[in-house]
Amino acid sequence: MEEKVKERHFGPVWFLPGQNHGKYPNCHSVYIEGAKVLIDPASDRERLIQLRENPGVEAVWLTHWHEDHFMHLDLFEDLPLSISEKDAPPLSDLEIFMDAYGMDDEDEREHWRFILRETFHFRPRTPEHFLKGGNIVHLETGTVEIIDTPGHTPGHLSFFFQEPEILLLGDYDLTKFGPWYGDHESDIHETIKSVERLREVPARAWIASHENGIFEEAPGDKWDQYLAVIIERERKLIDLLSTSRTMDEIVGAWIIYGRPREPKAFFEFGERSHMKKHLEKLIREGRVVRDGAYYVASH
């Protein structure tokens, strides 16, 4: 049984744990005391309602546009919202949101329309402000460096709280599952570069959006293990393609998730989208050849 993740305060930087260990469809949130800034409102709805009442929330920031990071944004519809400019479009319209995920199948889209409205409380939003990588934000209770970390999404951001030396990694969460790069505009190479960029930040503690949430000792080998998942996925795919396979056969091998999982619509989509990214990369590198509906490793 997993030990419950607890709320922690690092000076003005509050770590607010998400339900179910911060696993999807939740994430951990961060609150900046004094400045009253809430980052990624998708942790625990009741705790966020309490937080809004006391000590109060005056602004919301998002690390990126994914639904498990804005699930409870509807509680803060009247407050200014900030995100990177590249990640803003999916928040403006449900159809644009699904386009950004690369959802083509209409049945799949209809399924997700319902989930996004009912589970994730999707409401179209236009950000009042854009957060820009490289900028330093001076708040009442501290200084925040905004770090561009694309790959997971085109405009994913991480935040370094300079005075307590705490780094919010966002969805580069150092979990055993490894990185997600399954969106239409996700990028494997940029993901690797962003992880390498984050490991160079001179932090004393690291906050991830999911699972363990807090690392109070240097992650060390966890950085390499996290990136090694990408290499292992690729190795398994190359092995699978020693014989010609269709995309459905590749998805059915469950290289990403290991086995079929429920809800099928979510996990099958994730499997397919990641395999597409790896196939595109391997074809560019000349290591895989496509022949009609079939893919096979080059020999």
Report residues of the chain scoring pLDDT below 50. Answer: 1
Given this model, what pLDDT does residue 299 score?
74
- State residue 226's pLDDT score: 98
Domain with CATH 3.60.15.10 in the chain: 8-219
Residue 2 is predicted with a pLDDT of 59
Q: Which fold has domain 8-219?
A: Metallo-beta-lactamase; Chain A (3.60.15)
pLDDT for 13 equals: 98
Sequential DSSP letters for the chain: -PPPP--EEETTEEEEPPHHHH-TT---EEEETTTTEEE---S-HHHHHHHIIIII--EEE-SSS-GGGTTTGGGGTTS-EEE-STTSHHHH-HHHHHHHHT---HHHHHHHHHHHHHTS-------SEE--TT-EEEETTEEEEEEE-TTSSTT-EEEEETTTTEEEEET----TT-----STT--HHHHHHHHHHHHTS--SEEEESSTT-EESS--THHHHHHHHHHHHHHHHHHHHTTS-EEHHHHHHT-TTTSS--SSHHHHHHHHHHHHHHHHHHHHHTTSEEEETTEEEE--
Q: pTM for this structure? A: 0.95
